[in-house]
Amino acid sequence: MKAVRNWSVRHARGLHRVYVIIESLLALLDPLLHRIGYQRLDKPMARLESLIKGFFFDSQSCGDCTLGATGMSCPMNCPKTLRNGPCGGVRQDGGCEVKPEMTCVWVKAWEGSQRLEQPEQGLQIIQPPLDARLKGHSSWLRALRLRRGQRQ
Ligand code: SF4
């Protein structure tokens, strides 16, 4: 929902902190999660992520979450699904080129990043091309797997 998504950007600092706490908790639980099996946990975890992130950020469950680096604005809501900054069509009022009634997700990402403790730091990270096979999978578990150096 657009209103909640905009609220989340306005409260990016607090939500980013919650995000970091969740990451730390999952890192603590990682030995247990690894024992149970990431694959077995993937579906329920992806469902949980989808519920939480879907509500707050209109997450599209891409499986490779960038929220922490994009001012808590989900770039997958961009009609062109651009993950490394805006296209050249942002309107003068900040509206999206494709959906004028929507503010460009990258304008929102900028606004949100200004509220973080280290503004703009995340926006400077170059996001790799999205692997479409990750869609619908848990990005939290993927982050744990990557930490362990396992194959995606
Ligand atoms: S204006 Fe922004 S949201 Fe719209 S297509 Fe371009 S980058 Fe995406």
DSSP 66-92: -GGGTTT--GGGSTT--SSS--TT--T
In the chain, where are the structural domains located? 2-147
Pocket test residue of 97, 102, 107, 127 for ligand 1, highest count of atoms within 8 A of CB:
97
The pLDDT score that the predictor gives to residue 47 is 96
Distance CA 108, CA 4 (A): 13
The pLDDT score that the predictor gives to residue 148 is 81
Give me ligand 1 centre to Cα 72, in Å. 16
Give me ligand 1 centre to Cα 146, in Å. 30
Average pLDDT of adjacent 10-residue blocks, the chain of 152 residues: 92 93 91 91 95 94 93 95 95 96 96 88 89 94 84 48
Q: Which atom of ligand 1 is nearest to the CA of 97?
A: 1
Distance CA 142, CA 83 (A): 18
The pLDDT score that the predictor gives to residue 1 is 80
The pLDDT score that the predictor gives to residue 103 is 96
- The CB of 105 under 6 Å from ligand 1? The reply is yes
Question: Which position has the token pair 């999205």?
Answer: 130
